[in-house]
Structure 1
Amino acid sequence: MSRERMENIKSVVLVVLVLLSLILTSLLLNNQPQLEFISPATFVPADKQGASKQAKDFVVPDAILFHYGEDRHTKANSSDDVYRILMGQVQNWYFNEFSYYPMTEDKWDSLTRKKLGLELQYNSLIPISVMEQVLTLRDVDQRLTGIDRVWLYYEEADDTVYALFLSTKDQQSFRAKTAVSPKDLRNSYLLFGKNLPEQILKTYKDPQRSPYIVQNKQSFWSVYYLPKKPSVMSMYNYNYLPISRKQLLESYFLDPGLVRQIVERDGTNIYTDGTRSVQVRNGQHLMTLTTPVWQAGDTQMTAYEQLQESVSFINQHMGWIDEFRLRSMDQRTEGSAQIVFRQYLGAFPIISQDSKLIDNIQLNMDKGQVQSMRRSLIDLDTFFGYKEVNVASGADLITYLQENKIDTEKISNIYLAYQLVEQKGYMQLIPAWVVQLEGVYNKIIDVRSAVPKGGKVSGLE
């Protein structure tokens, strides 16, 4: 083939390539692909998944108290039909025109002993931004940051029902107007509690900081209730299902195949994929999750938004296997908080033996994201045995405490709970009194210990 012919072929190929390039360029310019952003990786629920819940499900009163004047009080627990009926009505209430309302000794005495009223009692301080989601509140005073009691009472002088929003932690009280009428209070709500168990109202007053200073004669009382008559509770034996390694890995890691296991000298197992880790201590039924905060979050989140985020996180990671309620929300530094959910059996909280903390879920939030979490690896399955035990009256309990050298003047709260005791192969739930001294120290007393020796206590053995 001559050189001239070869050059002609090269020229033709070059022209064809140029034309193809122009055609492809035109197609790219006129037919852009439809690009989509790749969403962040999400967890696929494990085979065994607990229930999904909403933040509001965890903010409920532990009890409703009914006040009839003349120092007569009754109580509805969350397992009572009266409680459920009344909570359906609470959603229709609204409160407005909040104002600071300092209490004096006389006001407290009148409120607790003489006035008709209704009290929603929570187990801890609930931030006001959370309460605004479960109650209808308007014109809230900015100084009111949290409450543990809502106390409706009838003021005879004004023929009006007011509501007190009380914070034991801050020792503050605020008053609001409410749509509940005196007729509603007397002829509807208080009728619900007429036949409920009567209660002995007890008060605790923090010691004065100085006996020489009187600060406008303001005071704050911690109020708690003890049963007027003996009662009966059940002691349960529960089978439990430990959370399996497979479920643990599937619940907390995107790709369980990338997880490696590290065994420490003390037997602690650490599972990690290089970013997050799950630690399970030897001989304990607890896990601790540590996960990185991937991006700058919102440091201005309200307490309710933080609560929502923590609930959503648990929904996506194993879910809610047993019954829980909000126990506490503590703001630490800006953008960080600790949220604790307490486990319940029916109307009563569960308290772990030897402070093993397998009765709660604790989350640490940072910039609106979960940074770490500690929770139990036990799923209370079904009970296979129970026994009814006697619970002493409030008067007999106080006598028992005094006989055991407990200064009853320093008691700030007493409530019934279930103590969780680990036995060989099962868990035992024993009714117990939790005695709180000066708001700091908790003493757990088996209810069977406080029953008077030789005394007749009503109820079944």
Structure 2
Amino acid sequence: MDRENIKTIILIVLVIISVFFTSKMWIEVEYSSNDIPDDDDFLFDDNSGILEVIAPDRIAVHLNGNKILVMNPSQQEYQEIWAIVLNNSVKCIAEGDKTDFVLIDKNIWEEQKKEECLELIFKTPFDLKFWNKAFNSKKKTLPNIRLSRLIISLDMPNTVLLFDDETESYYKISKDNINPLTESMLNEITNSDELKEHIELSTNTLGLVLETGIYVPKDPLTISGVTVIKEDIKPDELVKDFFSDMSVVRKIEEKDGARIYTDGKKGFRIYPSGAIEFNHAVTAQGDHSDDLFDAAKTGYNFLVTYGGLPTGSYLDKAEFLEHDPRSSLFAYDYRFKGIPVIGERNAIEIVITQGEVKNYYRNLEHPVALISEEQALSISPVSTLEIAASNLRFLINTQEDKHKIKDVYLAYYRPDDDSWEYTLSPVWVVELKDIKIFIDAVEGTMISLD
């Protein structure tokens, strides 16, 4: 037998051995059903972006001894808690299967806050129909409740409490596995060094009428200003995204330096400040959808495609337009290190008419650096209310008890500034139903009334 034949035989034997051991390995692998993802894991993947921008603005943690800690979306503890509550409590509520919504007295809600519990506070309340569609649930009949606040408590293992801010009504829902709160979760939160202690403002402070559940820092704060730069706009590239045929697009230069691009049906304006605005002459025809979720999703998908959303974005406003019930307005702002960045106009606004984008406005800046020297906020929340009270009398010329204060919180103020680079300063925001008062948190002067 020559050398080549020997090599061939050895090679064949090695291949047979390899096939034998490979097949043996596959046959002996134990099958585990955990390797296959459950369908429920993907129940709302398609809407995960929407769920992020409508997540709670804050989570108040009520502990023994009337101690209150507050979490915001920039903190890891918040993200962990919200993921658990979303997949359990909110999902059960939104699906509404075999669920009774029992009307309860306000006293039950207030008494529960004295126990160990979590209170989730939503910036923009949505009705259960909206949440139902966010979870791709097929449940059609749900009570007309707007989810504004939610309480889960240790001493109510199968119960959650809801607050509807539109009707100022409180509800109790009892169902197996609806409350995921555990002692270990609370212990982990309590041991966190990141969370600051807060106090609840009295509903009658300085003669003003406040809603319940307004939490402000217990101790004086120090905070840094933020240096920002305007969003870098590249007009020629940007315009191509909005017009399919650039050969029919006209460019118009206005006296104030604004540039307008139009094809007769669509218009795209770039302001000297860097703000952009897109308008589309959508013609309303026939029946129209009155589903706010469908419109919100259309707007969200458009924003993600054209320009994107900044980190920390949240939906500040979602409403049907009074003058045009076929259209819905969605307004976005964003948080920097958990603190809202707001101005007299939202950073992003989009109007949806019958499933199409009718108007799109965007005026964004990007935080680039914290100012190294921190400022002590010499104006306390109570002092802020004093300033707000005097301005309410002057500006509204009426008794302030007719204008219930909905919230008091710290924010960064976005000035109406055309500069390429500028600074965001800390302000206290006193929020009423239709008005926001911005008060400089260092100087104590009223900056603006929105």
TM-score under structure 1 length normalisation:
0.70
Report what 2:160 is aligned to: 163
Report what 2:15 is aligned to: none
Shift of 1:314: 1.8
Q: Contact 1:235–1:388 at 8 Å: present in 2 too?
A: yes
Report what 1:458 is aligned to: none
Report what 2:128 is aligned to: 128
- C-alpha distance after superposition, 1:256-289 (max 9, x if no partner): 34321224455543210122001334x4442221
Report what 1:177 is aligned to: 174
- C-alpha distance after superposition, 1:160-213 (max 9, x if no partner): 44222222233233322244588x5351332233243221112548xxxxxxxx
1:275 maps to 2:265 = yes
1:364 maps to 2:351 = yes
Residue 333 of structure 2 aligns with an amino acid whose one-letter code is R
Q: Contact 1:63–1:78 at 8 Å: present in 2 too?
A: yes
Structure 1 gap segments, 5+ residues each: 1-51, 206-219, 452-461
Residues 446 and 381 of structure 1: is their aligned pair in 2 closer, same or farther, counting only changes over 3 Å? closer
Residue 190 (structure 1) aligned to one of 156, 166, 186? 186
Residue 448 (structure 1) aligned to one of 442, 447, 450? 442
Residue 243 (structure 1) aligned to one of 207, 227, 233? 233
Shift of 1:342: 1.5
Residues 324 and 372 of structure 1: is their aligned pair in 2 closer, same or farther, counting only changes over 3 Å? same
How far apart, in 2, do the equivalents of 1:133 and 1:187 lie?
A: 32
Report what 1:348 is aligned to: 339
Look up the SS of the partner of 1:101 in the other structure. Answer: strand
Shift of 1:310: 0.6
Report what 2:27 is aligned to: none
Shift of 1:241: 3.8
Cα RMSD, aligned residues only: 3.5
Residue 382 of structure 2 aligns with an amino acid whose one-letter code is I
How far apart, in 1, do the equivalents of 2:181 and 2:310 lie?
A: 38
Residues 339 and 68 of structure 1: is their aligned pair in 2 closer, same or farther, counting only changes over 3 Å? same
Residue 418 of structure 1 aligns with an amino acid whose one-letter code is Y
Compare 135-144 and 298-307 and name the one that shifted more.
135-144
How far apart, in 2, do the equivalents of 1:297 and 1:286 lie?
A: 34
Q: Contact 2:161–2:173 at 8 Å: present in 1 too?
A: yes
Residue 316 (structure 1) aligned to one of 305, 315, 327? 305
Structure 2 gap segments, 5+ residues each: 1-46, 205-209, 393-399, 446-450
How far apart, in 2, do the equivalents of 1:73 and 1:165 lie?
A: 19
Look up the SS of the partner of 1:327 in the other structure. Answer: strand
Look up the SS of the partner of 1:110 in the other structure. Answer: helix
Report what 1:103 is aligned to: 105
Structure with greater strand percent: 1
Report what 2:410 is aligned to: 416
How far apart, in 1, do the equivalents of 2:141 and 2:376 lie?
A: 45
Residue 373 of structure 1 aligns with an amino acid whose one-letter code is Y
Residues 179 and 53 of structure 1: is their aligned pair in 2 closer, same or farther, counting only changes over 3 Å? closer
How far apart, in 1, do the equivalents of 2:171 and 2:338 lie?
A: 28
How far apart, in 2, do the equivalents of 1:58 and 1:427 lie?
A: 27
Shift of 1:440: 2.8
Q: Contact 2:231–2:274 at 8 Å: present in 1 too?
A: no
Shift of 1:416: 1.3
Look up the SS of the partner of 1:61 in the other structure. Answer: coil
1:402 maps to 2:386 = yes
TM-score under structure 2 length normalisation:
0.72
Residues 425 and 279 of structure 1: is their aligned pair in 2 closer, same or farther, counting only changes over 3 Å? closer
Residue 340 of structure 1 aligns with an amino acid whose one-letter code is A
Residues 305 and 229 of structure 1: is their aligned pair in 2 closer, same or farther, counting only changes over 3 Å? same
- C-alpha distance after superposition, 1:227-258 (max 9, x if no partner): 11223322111233431221331232223343
Query: Rg bigger for which structure?
Result: 1
- C-alpha distance after superposition, 1:57-90 (max 9, x if no partner): 3121111111125432111111112112212322
1:302 maps to 2:291 = yes
Residue 338 (structure 1) aligned to one of 329, 336, 340? 329
Report what 2:44 is aligned to: none
Report what 2:317 is aligned to: 328
Q: Contact 1:330–1:339 at 8 Å: present in 2 too?
A: yes
Residues 131 and 259 of structure 1: is their aligned pair in 2 closer, same or farther, counting only changes over 3 Å? same
Residues 315 and 363 of structure 1: is their aligned pair in 2 closer, same or farther, counting only changes over 3 Å? same
Shift of 1:334: 4.7
How far apart, in 1, do the equivalents of 2:374 and 2:117 lie?
A: 33
Look up the SS of the partner of 1:306 in the other structure. Answer: helix
Shift of 1:413: 0.9
Residue 421 of structure 2 aligns with an amino acid whose one-letter code is Y
- C-alpha distance after superposition, 1:287-320 (max 9, x if no partner): 2211133785872353222111111122332333
Higher relative contact order (CA 8 A, sep 6+): 1
Q: Contact 1:100–1:141 at 8 Å: present in 2 too?
A: no
Report what 1:223 is aligned to: 213
